[in-house]
Amino acid sequence: MKVLDLRCDAGHVFEGWFASEEDYQGQRSRGLLQCPMCNSCAVEKALSAPRLKAKSNRRLDGDAVPVASAVAAPSEAQILAQLHARWLAHARAVLREGENVGDAFADEARRIHSGEAPERLIHGQASVQEVVELLQEGVPVLPLPEAASEPLQ
């Protein structure tokens, strides 16, 4: 049995067990190797320390073989919480730094998109119909969450 340290293109290090070097090569060439943390199929062998067998009557406490440590993958809940926090921070920045154009949002967004008005960060109010029309015209708009305008406790 061959135990190999593997690394994906995202830098996650994990262990793979193979019957032989040929088994590893065969699985890799068929795209069967996958990172357990990010599901990337771009997997390569990582450098690993050799595993030397010491004499059975001797133990070298100071010569421990370093083992590659795997990066702990965040849970789905942690990822969602991070994304929500980033989105809320971005929305608050838009409200803080952008120009409030009020009910003229749709018209001003069109003017900026067409180059008639200087490009800048704006926010305001638009109806659902206006938002749909803006998106159909290729004008990038996003609704800001109400929590963005609420003060932090």
Residue with tokens 């003229």: 104
- Asked if residue 141 lies in contact with residue 135, where contact means CB atoms within 8 angstroms, the answer is yes
pLDDT tens across 70-124, in order? 667 778 888 888 888 888 888 888 888 999 999 999 999 999 999 999 999 999 9
Does residue 69 or residue 98 have the better pLDDT?
Answer: 98
The amino acid sitting at 70 is A
Does residue 47 or residue 113 have the better pLDDT?
Answer: 113
Beta carbons within 8 Å of 109's beta carbon, 6+ residues apart:
122, 126, 134, 139, 141
Distance CA 62, CA 60 (A): 6
Banded pLDDT at 134 (limits 50, 70, 90): very high
